[in-house]
């Protein structure tokens, strides 16, 4: 199958609609990362997403809607807490876990009784979903375990020959995935850190939110138990409070094959490293750049030493991705 990359216009959107109608897959830009979409009501098309990505069947998908008024197409009800989050953050980088409506195939949720719902704010995503005219089930458009795609070319690198069309809306603004929050209960639980920060959510809800992320034996968001976002290189994650460990690790590596990656002005002496990759000047930049940089660095180096961001705001989300990418190598 030939994979074409097109900017969103009437012709390509009509083509996208046609592909979705006949049960095919379309990759599309969102404000977080590129998604790989299928008609959420077409069970076979949803199954094909898992096949194309090589995704484990127990890792549920998010359903994307063009407008927040459509949430009851896929969810049974909107509890008061969810209503507040919807009013404040949607459209945007927040995914809500709600009770799944009976007409939504359970394969999307990997058999769970819940459904993850997201309304993107990006204009390419919205145009595509609106044209398709159905809710769109979509994970990130990378091969499972690879860094998520933030450009059409990243999608092409992973999925060429496997899908017909990539809707190219340019580089994703946020650069990492949405925050996933269980919004069914009085006390909200964050299942994945992402584009909307804990601080932003707490400010709106005026309660402390819980997180259920670090216990790999009991993750409520099944996706968080897998090694993820991993580049084809040996990657180390060094915590923000241990900057001296970056140098120690570096001393054990071959300088020409090794790169140190960090936000500017956070490591004591970045000039000491033969290869230093800046993630930008703050956590927002790091979120925007991380996945793209991982895809670039894996082509040039054998070892990536990633120095964490401060554990606040978007830094928490960036650190979570870096840790997953590093697998066991967390210092
Ligand atoms: O920003 C995003 O969320 C991107 C764009 C394309 O929208 N999508 C994305 O999808 O990151 P994916 O499939 O790569 O990650 C979805 C996450 C996984 O960790 C999955 O386990 C969790 O959401 N999830 C999905 N449905 C769930 C459910 N019913 N209950 C708990 N967690 C769920
Ligand atoms: Mg993903």
Closest ligand 1 atom to the C-alpha of 118?
7
How far away, in angstroms, is 233 Cα from ligand 2 center? 19
Kindly report the CATH number that applies to the domain delimited by 4-211. 3.90.870.10
pTM metric for this prediction: 0.96
227-247, pLDDT tens digit by residue?
Answer: 678 889 999 999 999 999 999
Residue nearest to ligand 1 atom 19, measured at CA: 223
Least confident of 122-126, 179-183, 268-272, 314-318: 268-272
Q: Candidates 40, 92, 140: which one to mutate for ligand 1, based on the most atoms within 8 Å of Cβ? A: 140
191-207, pLDDT tens digit by residue?
Answer: 999 999 999 999 999 99
- Confidence class of residue 216 from pLDDT cuts 50, 70 and 90? very low
Domain residue spans of the chain? 4-211, 234-326
Neighbours of ion ligand 2 (CB under 5 A): 140
- Confidence class of residue 213 from pLDDT cuts 50, 70 and 90? low
In this structure, what token pair is assigned to residue 14? 């009509």
Helix (H), strand (E), coil (C) string for the chain: CCCEEECCCHHHHHHHHHHHHCCCCEEECCCCCCEEEEECCCHHHHHHHHHHHCCCCCCCCEEECCCHHHHHHCECCCCHHHHHHHHHHCCCCEEEEEEECCCCCCCCCCCCCEEEEECCCCHHHHHHHHHHCCCEEECECCCCCCCCCCCHHHHHHHHCCCCCEEECCCCCCCCCCCEEEECCCCCCEEEECCCCCHHHHHHHHCCCCEECCCCCCCCCCHHHHCCCCCCCCEEEEECCCCCHHHHHHHHCCCHHHEEEEECCCCCCCHHHCCCEEECCCCHHHHHHHHHHHHHHHCCCCCEEEEECCCCCCHHHHHHHHHHHHHCCCEC
Confidence check: pLDDT of 315 > 50: yes
- Confidence class of residue 31 from pLDDT cuts 50, 70 and 90? very high
Closest ligand 1 atom to the C-alpha of 222?
21
Contact at 8 Å (CB) between 66 and 40? no
In DSSP terms, which residues pair with 75 in a beta bridge? 100
Contact at 8 Å (CB) between 157 and 295? yes
Q: Which residues line ligand 1 (CB under 6 A)?
A: 30, 32-33, 35, 59-62, 95, 97, 109, 112, 114-116, 118, 138-140, 177-178, 180, 191-192, 220-224
CA angle 66, 128, 29 (to 5 degrees): 100
Distance CA 99, CA 290 (A): 33
Contact at 8 Å (CB) between 89 and 190? no
Q: What is the pLDDT of residue 217?
A: 47
What's the length of the chain?
331
Q: What is the pLDDT of residue 228?
A: 79
How far away, in angstroms, is 312 Cα from ligand 1 center? 22
108-131, pLDDT tens digit by residue?
Answer: 999 999 999 999 999 999 999 999
Nearest ligand to residue 33 Cα:
1
Q: In the predicted model, what is the mean pLDDT of residues 305-313?
A: 98
Q: Label residues 143-154 b or e (16+ Cβ within 10 Å = b).
A: bbbbbbbbbbeb
Burial of 200 (0-12, 13-18, 19+ CB in 10 A): middle
Query: How many C-beta neighbours within 10 Å does residue 22 have?
Result: 10
CATH topology of domain 234-326: Rossmann fold (3.40.50)
Distance CA 230, CA 311 (A): 21
Return the percentage of the chain with pLDDT > 90, whole number. 90
How far away, in angstroms, is 295 Cα from ligand 1 center? 21
Confidence check: pLDDT of 220 > 60: no
Q: What is the pLDDT of residue 247?
A: 96
């Amino acid at each position: 199958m030939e994979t074409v990359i097109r900017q969103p216009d009437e012709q390509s959107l009509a083509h996208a609609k046609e592909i979705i109608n006949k049960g095919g897959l379309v990759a599309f830009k969102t404000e977080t990362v590129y998604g790989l979409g299928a008609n959420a009501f077409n069970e076979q098309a949803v199954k094909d997403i898992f096949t194309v990505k090589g995704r484990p069947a127990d890792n549920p998908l998010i359903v994307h809607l063009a407008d927040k008024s459509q949430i009851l197409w896929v969810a049974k009800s909107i509890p008061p807490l969810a209503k507040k989050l919807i009013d404040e953050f949607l459209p945007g980088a927040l995914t809500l876990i709600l009770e799944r409506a009976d007409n939504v195939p359970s394969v999307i949720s990997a058999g769970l009784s819940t459904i993850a719902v997201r309304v993107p704010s990006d204009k390419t995503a919205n145009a595509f979903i609106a044209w398709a005219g159905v809710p769109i089930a979509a994970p990130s458009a990378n091969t499972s375990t690879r860094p998520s795609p933030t450009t059409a070319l990243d999608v092409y690198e992973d999925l060429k020959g496997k899908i017909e069309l990539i809707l190219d809306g340019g580089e994703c603004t946020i650069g990492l995935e949405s925050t996933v929050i269980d919004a069914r209960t009085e006390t909200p639980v964050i299942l994945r850190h992402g584009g909307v920060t804990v601080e932003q959510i707490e400010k709106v809800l005026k309660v402390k939110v819980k997180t259920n992320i670090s216990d790999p034996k009991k993750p409520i968001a099944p996706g968080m138990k897998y090694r993820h976002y991993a580049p084809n290189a040996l990657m180390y994650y060094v915590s923000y409070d241990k900057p001296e460990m970056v140098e120690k690790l570096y001393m054990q590596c071959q300088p020409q094959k090794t790169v140190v990656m960090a936000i500017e002005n956070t490591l004591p002496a970045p000039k000491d490293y033969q290869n230093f990759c800046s993630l930008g000047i703050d956590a927002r930049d790091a979120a925007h750049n991380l996945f793209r940089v991982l895809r670039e660095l894996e082509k040039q180096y054998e070892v990536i030493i990633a120095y964490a961001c401060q554990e606040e705001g978007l830094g928490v989300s960036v650190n979570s991705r870096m840790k997953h990418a590093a697998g066991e190598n967390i210092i």
